[in-house]
Chains A and B, each alone.
Chain A
Amino acid sequence: MTLIVYSEKCTGCGACVEACPFGVLSLEGERLVIGEGCTACGACVEVCEAGALALAEAEGPSPRPEVPPDGIWVFAEQRHGRLAPVTLELLGEARRLAGELAVPVAGVLLGDRVAELAPELFRAGADKVYVAEHPALAEFVEGPFTAALTEMAARFRPEILLAGATYVGRAFIPQVAAALRTGLTADCTAFAIDRERRLLLQTRPAFGGNIMATIITPRTYPQMATARPGVFRRLAEPYADAGQVVPVELSSLQEPGPCTFVGTVEEVRERLPLSEAEVIVAGGRGLKEARHFRLLEELAELLGGAVGATRAAVDAGWIPYSHQIGQTGKTVAPKLYIAVGISGAVQHLAGIQSSDFIVAINKDPDAPIFKVADIGLVGDLFEIVPALIAAIRRDRG
C-alpha cells in the first residue's frame, strides 16, 4: 500500500499533518508533502474531509494468492520432551481464531522422539499434529529447525503460522518467514481476524511498550507471528483425546550442517523459570545489597513464584543475568508481579506490562512504578516485605 495525494482535492487544511502518528506529513505552502517513514497506516486518510488522500495497493512482490489449505499451525516448542507452556497457550488462541476462519488447527512437533507429545497437543486444541523426528533436531540449532519447518510449511501450506516469542522462537522463526518469502510480526500480544479481508490482525507493542501497532501480512502466506508467552489463554477444557498424527519425512536436513550443537554449558537452576512463573517477586536498586535478595526468595517461595530483577540489580552483580526482566532481559507476563525497590525505568516496564496484577513497594512516592502498579505501597521495603512474609506465615499457621 502507498499513500496517494489528490492535490486537486487538497484544501491544505492540515488535519492530516496533525493526525499522522509518525510526523512525516508536512505542508509546504498549501502543498502536502509525504516525507520519509510513511507506513501507509491510513490515519491521515480517515481524517481527510476533502477526500484528497487514499491508500493504493502498491505493486508488491506478488498479488495475493489463493488462501492456502492447511489452516492454522502452531509450532510446538519442546525441549527434551517437555512442551513450552506458550505452545499450549497458542493452541488455545489458535482454536479461537480457527473458529472464525472455519479452518483446522495443527501442532508441529520438531525433535528427536517427540511423537509422544501429540496427545498433549490434541488436548490443548490441535486437530492434527505433524511430527518430524530427526537426530539433528534433538537440541535446538537454528539451521535444522529452519530447514525442517520451512520444508513442512512449503509442503502442507498453512494459512497462518504461530510460534512462541521465546528465545528459540525468535531465533529461527524469522528465518522460516524469510525462506518462505512472507511477513512476520514479532512478539504479539493480541490477535484478531478481519473477516472481510480474511486477514490476521497482529497487535504488538513497540517503542519499549509506549506504542501499540496492529500489523497485517496482506499479500503472502503463511501469515506469521511470534506471540508473547503468558499472554494468551489455554483452553479451560481439553479439546480432544486424539486426532490425526502426520509423520513427516524431511529431505532438507544437511548432515552435518554448518552449525552443530556441542553441549549445554550451563542450566539455569531455578526450580521455576521466569517465563513460566505465575508469581514473580522482583527487586531493584532499592535492595541495596546482594544478600537482601534472600528476602525476595523467601516471599517468592511462599507465593509459589520466581525471583526477578532489574538491570540495575544485575549490573550491580547482586543476581545473575538470567533473572533480568525488561527490555535488555526477559519479558514476563505473570498473574502477579511484585516490584520491590524498583523505581520503574521505562525499559523495565516494557518487560512487565503484560502482567495481570502489579504490586509495587517503594519508599519514593513519585517513583514511576506507582503509575503502572495496581496497588502501590509507599514505605520501607525492609519493613514491609518481612511483615508481609510474617503475615502470610501467620495466616497459614
Chain B
Amino acid sequence: MKIIVCIKQVPETDKVRLDPETHTLIREGVQAIINPFDLYALEAGLRLREARGGQVTLLSMGPPQAEAALREALGYGAESAVLLSDKAFAGADTWATALTLAHAVRKLGGADLIVTGKQAIDGDTAQVGPMLATVLGVPYVAWARKLTLTDDTVLEVERLLDHGYDALRVRLPAVVSVVKEISEPRVPSFKAKMQAKKAVIPTWTLADLGLDPREVGLAGSFTQVVRVFPPPARGASEVWTGDPQELATRLWARLKELGRR
C-alpha cells in the first residue's frame, strides 16, 4: 500500500492579525506549525498502513523552512518525506499548488491513496485536495470520518455531509480528505522522533518536477489577491452586569425589539 499524506506548514492563525491602521500583517510571535487538520490525515494514513502494510510518504510544498513541519510529521511514524520548494512556486493559488503536488505524486511513482486534512487553517479553502484528484484523474471523496480497506483496491468511506453520514465505496487510487472524527492523532514515539531528526528530506525544485515556470506559483495561478483588509468591525458591544433576573428580562425585551417573538 503506497500512501501519501499532504502536509502544510501554516502560521498559528489565532496570532495572525492585520494592523487596523496600516493594514500590514502583524507577525510578531506568530509560530509556524503543522496544519492541525493534517495530523488527522497523517493518523488515518498511519492506521491504514498498520492494517494493510506499506508505506506512508509525506508531501509538502512551501518555503525551505517548511522542512521543519515535515520533520516533525515524520516523528509520528511516516517512512519518508519530500519537500517541494522553489522560488517559482511562491504565490501559488490552490490550482497551481495542486498542479505542483500532482507532478510530485507522479515523480513518486503514484500512490494507492492520498490523504489530506479537511482544510488548512490559514487559507481555509479545502480546495487543493479535490483539485489534486482532478489533475491526477482519480476519484476524490471529501470529509471522511472512517476509512476501511476491504482489500488493496477498494476503500470503504463513511463521510460527513450536511444531512449526516453517507457510506461510499471507492476504487483506488483515490484522494480523500478526513475530518477530525477519523481518530485522535497519536503521540509521537521517542524512537520515531529520533529517527525523524536524522532523516534526509529531499527538496524537489521546479526543474526536478519538469514544470514550466509559467505553470506554477503566482504566474500559474488562475486567481489573484487584489486586496487584503481587516474584517469590518462589528457594532459597538454593550456589556451588561447586574442581577441575573433583571439581565434576563432586559435581554428578552431587546430581543423582542429585534423581532424575536
Residue of B nearest to A273 (CB): B162
B42 is an interface residue with CB less than 8 A from chain A: no
Pairwise interchain contact A207-B16, C-beta atoms closer than 8 A: yes
Interface centre among B63, B95, B141, B223 (most CB of A within 10 A): B223
* Interface residue ranges of A246-280 to B (CB < 8 Å): 257-268, 273, 275, 279
Contacting B134 at CB < 8 Å: which of A36, A60, A179, A372?
A: A179
When distances are taken between beta carbons in the complex, the residues of chain A under 8 Å from B258 are 336, 357
A38 to B218, alpha carbons, bound, how many Å?
8
Pairwise interchain contact A43-B228, C-beta atoms closer than 8 A: yes
B189 is an interface residue with CB less than 8 A from chain A: no
* B47–chain A nearest beta-carbon distance, Å: 19
Would you give the 0/1 interface string for A314-331, flagging 1 where the beta carbon is closer than 8 Å to chain B?
000000011000011000
Residue of B nearest to A321 (CB): B181
Pairwise interchain contact B240-A174, C-beta atoms closer than 8 A: no
A310 is an interface residue with CB less than 8 A from chain B: no
B188 is an interface residue with CB less than 8 A from chain A: no
Residue of A nearest to B17 (CB): A210
Residue of A nearest to B145 (CB): A321
* Interface residue ranges of B121-146 to A (CB < 8 Å): 121-127, 129-131, 133-135, 138-143
Known: A264-B165, A387-B244. A217 touches B222 (CB 8 A): yes
Pairwise interchain contact B241-A365, C-beta atoms closer than 8 A: yes
B33 is an interface residue with CB less than 8 A from chain A: no
State the interface size on chain A (CB cutoff 8 A).
113
When distances are taken between beta carbons in the complex, the residues of chain B under 8 Å from A336 are 255, 258, 260
Contacting A374 at CB < 8 Å: which of B98, B135, B229, B234?
A: B234
Residue of B nearest to A35 (CB): B90
B149 is an interface residue with CB less than 8 A from chain A: no
Chain B residues in contact with chain A, CB under 8 A?
A: 11, 13-14, 16-18, 22-25, 27, 37, 63, 87, 90-91, 93-95, 98, 121-127, 129-131, 133-135, 138-143, 156, 158, 160-171, 174, 179-181, 214-215, 218-232, 234-235, 237-242, 244-245, 247-249, 251-252, 254-256, 258, 260
Pairwise interchain contact A142-B241, C-beta atoms closer than 8 A: no
Pairwise interchain contact B87-A36, C-beta atoms closer than 8 A: yes
Residue of B nearest to A170 (CB): B126
When distances are taken between beta carbons in the complex, the residues of chain A under 8 Å from B180 are 321, 328
When distances are taken between beta carbons in the complex, the residues of chain B under 8 Å from A390 are 248
* A221–chain B nearest beta-carbon distance, Å: 10
A264 to B166, alpha carbons, bound, how many Å?
4
When distances are taken between beta carbons in the complex, the residues of chain A under 8 Å from B231 are 205, 209-212, 353
A219 is an interface residue with CB less than 8 A from chain B: yes
A327 to B10, alpha carbons, bound, how many Å?
15
When distances are taken between beta carbons in the complex, the residues of chain B under 8 Å from A376 are 237-240
